[in-house]
Amino acid sequence: MAGLETHICVMQTALDLISRGTDVHVCWDCTSSRGEEYRRHALQRLGHAGVQITNHESVAFELARDKNHPQFKGVNRLLREGQIV
């Protein structure tokens, strides 16, 4: 997951999904809040609730699985060049 207002929208959605038995991953670097403290505390609460806190680069490489994926080199290049942020 990614989104605005980590302490409200992202948190409520993630907690609802967790309560339904869904495995939830939130990219910390793809979220925001009114203030950094709000975001930090929301991410901490989500982590304690069982949400996997990750980042966009980790997700990209996890989806590719390994260097044999047909899109691996392209994704790697975009991340290295900062075109995927």
Same domain, 47 and 72: no
H or E element in which residue 52 lies: strand 52-54
pTM surpassing 0.75? yes
The pLDDT tens digits of the residues spanning 31-69 come to: 999 999 999 999 999 999 999 999 888 887 787 777 777
User: Which alpha helices (DSSP H) does the chain contain, by range?
Assistant: 11-19, 36-48, 56-64, 72-80
pLDDT at 84 over 70: no
Q: Tell me, what's the pLDDT at 52?
A: 97
Tell whether the model's pLDDT for residue 73 goes beyond 70. yes
Q: What's the mean per-residue pLDDT of the chain?
A: 89
State both tokens at 51. Answer: 């949400």
| Number of domains observed in the structure of the chain | 2
Q: Which domain holds residue 2?
A: 1-54
CB atoms inside a 10 Å sphere around CB 28: 17
Residues 49 and 72 in one domain: no
